Structure 1
Amino acid sequence: MYETINLRSAIKLAILVITAILFCQWNGSTLYAQKTMKQKDTLKFENKIVPDEIWRETYVALSHYPELKETPIEFKFKKNIQKSFMQAQPKLSGLFKNKKDRAYFVMISEHIEIEDQVFDVKNVPSDVLIGWIGHELGHIMDYRERSALNMIWFGIKYLTSKTYIQEAERAADTYAVNHGLGKYIIATKDFILNHTHLADSYKARIKKLYLSQEEIMVLIDEIDEEED
C-alpha cells in the first residue's frame, strides 16, 4: 500500500513537472511571438509591401537606402524566376510617369533550382538575404535615373547582351557597396561561390557578371578613406 501511494505521488509529481515545462515553453514561445510582432510593428515601412518571411532582412537593406524611403516598392514572392533568385523591375503601369512617381517590384523566387540544386528562401542565411535584397535595391537606384524610353532600351539590351548584363549587375553591386552593404554583398558571394554543390559553370558566370570580392573590398576601403 505504501509503495502504491509513493508510485501515485511520483506519477502526479511527474505530470506536474511535465505540465510546468510545457507551460514554460508555450509561454516563452508566445512571449517571443508577441515581442517579434511588437518589434515588427515599430519598424514601419513607407510605401512598401513586404512579406512576413523577409521583413527583417528587407528592413536592414532598406535602412541603407534613405533615397528610397518614399519610393513605392512591393516585395513579392514568385514561384519561379528564370536563372535568378530575385529580380527588380518597374511596375509597367507607372513606367511613363514622372521618374519620382514610379513604383517597383522586387520579385523573389520561393524556390530556385541551380544545376539541380534547389534553394528555398527560408534556408538562405540572413546576411546573404540582406545582400541579395541590397543588390536589387541597387538596381532600383539605377532605374530611378532612367527615362521610360531608356528603361525600355535597358530591358532590350539586358536580354540580348551579356556585356550589358555585366554592366548592369556590377552597377547594382556598386550602389549596394556605396550604401554600406559591402559586408552583406560579400556574404552573398561567399554563399554562392563557396557552395560545394553548385556547378563550376554557374560560379564562373557569377564571377564574370558581378563585382569580385576583391573589387568590393577596394570599394569599401575607398569609402573608409573618404570618411576618415
Structure 2
Amino acid sequence: MKRKLKLLIPTIITVFLAVLILKEPKTTIPKSIKEEVGIALGHFPELEGIPIEFKFKKNIKKSVMQAQPTWSGLIKPKNKRSYVILISEKFKISGAEFKTADVPRDVLIGWIGHELGHVMDYQQRGNLNLIGFGIRYVLLKEFVKKAERAADSFAVSRGMSNHILKTKRFILNHSEIDDTYKARIKQYYLSPDEIMEMVKEQDSLNDNGLL
C-alpha cells in the first residue's frame, strides 16, 4: 500500500500542476464594484492584459483588502502571472458591521487603487523574489511598512492621490473606526502629508519637463 502511494504521489503532483498551468486565468469583477474597479484600473495601463480576480471574502485578518499572486502565477514567467484581490465583505465601525461595497465611492476606489499598487510591485519581481516577499511580509514588521508604502506610492504616481487621500482621511478621521486599525494605517502607510509632498514633487517635475 505504501509503495503504491509513493508511486501515486508524483502523478498527483503532476496533475495538480497541469491543472494550475492549463486553467486559463481571466479578470473577473463582482457587479457591485465593477464601476469602481474600472476607474481604478484605468490608472494602471501597465496592468492591461494581466488577469486579476476581484473576489469578496467573508473576513480578512487585519485588512479590508489583500492582493496576492495566484499559485499558478508563481510557477509562470511574470508576464504570464495572474493575481487575486480579496475584499472583505464587511468591516466594523464602533462594533457595527458595514458592507465594504457601501463605503463612499471615492474611498472604495482608493482602497482598490492601493491594492493595484501592490500588483504593480509584484510585477517587478521575479518568482523567487516574490516568494521571499511573502515570507518577509509575514515575519518582518519593517518589511510590511516598506511594502505598504510602496503600494501607496505606485497608486499616487499613477494619478490616484485624491482617491488615496480620501481613503486615508475616511479611516483616520472617522471617530468610530477602531483605533487599532487606525494605528496600523499610521504605522505602515504613507500619511496624508507625505502623499501631498509626493504630489508637489511630481508637479514640479512635470513643470520642468522631467516626467
Identify the TM-score tier after normalising by the shorter chain: 0.7 to 0.9
Cα–Cα, structure 1 residues 176 and 145, in superposed 2: closer, same or farther, change >3 Å? same
Q: Aligned partner of 1:110: which letter?
A: E
Which has the greater radius of gyration?
1
- Between the aligned residues of both structures, percent identity stands at 54
Per the TM alignment, residue 88 of structure 1 is displaced from its structure 2 partner at its CA by: 0.4
Q: Please say if 1:95 is aligned against 2:74.
A: yes
Contact preservation (8 Å) 2:93, 2:176: no
Q: Aligned partner of 1:226: which letter?
A: L
Residue in structure 2 matching 1:151, options 130, 139, 145: 130
RMSD (Å) for aligned C-alpha atoms: 1.3
Q: Please say if 1:172 is aligned against 2:151.
A: yes
Per the TM alignment, residue 113 of structure 1 is displaced from its structure 2 partner at its CA by: 3.5
Residue 45 of structure 2 corresponds to which residue in structure 1? 66
Contact preservation (8 Å) 2:55, 2:84: yes
Q: Please say if 1:226 is aligned against 2:193.
A: no
Residue in structure 2 matching 1:127, options 103, 106, 111: 106
| Equivalent-residue separation in structure 2 for 1:53 and 1:222 (angstroms) | 36
Cα–Cα, structure 1 residues 174 and 49, in superposed 2: closer, same or farther, change >3 Å? same
| Equivalent-residue separation in structure 2 for 1:116 and 1:83 (angstroms) | 15
Number of residue pairs the alignment of both structures matches = 182
| Equivalent-residue separation in structure 2 for 1:157 and 1:114 (angstroms) | 30
Residue 9 of structure 2 corresponds to which residue in structure 1? none
Per the TM alignment, residue 169 of structure 1 is displaced from its structure 2 partner at its CA by: 0.2
Contact preservation (8 Å) 2:29, 2:55: yes
Residue 179 of structure 2 corresponds to which residue in structure 1? 200
Contact preservation (8 Å) 2:92, 2:178: no
Q: Aligned partner of 1:75: which letter?
A: F
Per the TM alignment, residue 117 of structure 1 is displaced from its structure 2 partner at its CA by: 4.2
Contact preservation (8 Å) 1:58, 1:133: yes
Residue 105 of structure 1 corresponds to which residue in structure 2? 84
Per the TM alignment, residue 48 of structure 1 is displaced from its structure 2 partner at its CA by: 1.9
Q: Aligned partner of 1:84: which letter?
A: S
Cα–Cα, structure 1 residues 116 and 162, in superposed 2: closer, same or farther, change >3 Å? farther
Residue in structure 2 matching 1:57, options 11, 27, 36: 36
Deviations 1:63-117 (A, max 9, x none): 0000001111110111111111110000102212100000000111111246734
Per the TM alignment, residue 222 of structure 1 is displaced from its structure 2 partner at its CA by: 1.3
Contact preservation (8 Å) 1:81, 1:112: no
Residue in structure 2 matching 1:182, options 161, 168, 176: 161
Gaps of 5+ in 2: 1-25
Gaps of 5+ in 1: 1-46
Cα–Cα, structure 1 residues 115 and 93, in superposed 2: closer, same or farther, change >3 Å? farther
| Equivalent-residue separation in structure 1 for 2:199 and 2:171 (angstroms) | 20
Deviations 1:149-168 (A, max 9, x none): 11111111111111110000
Return the TM-score normalized by structure 1. Answer: 0.77
Return the TM-score normalized by structure 2. Answer: 0.83
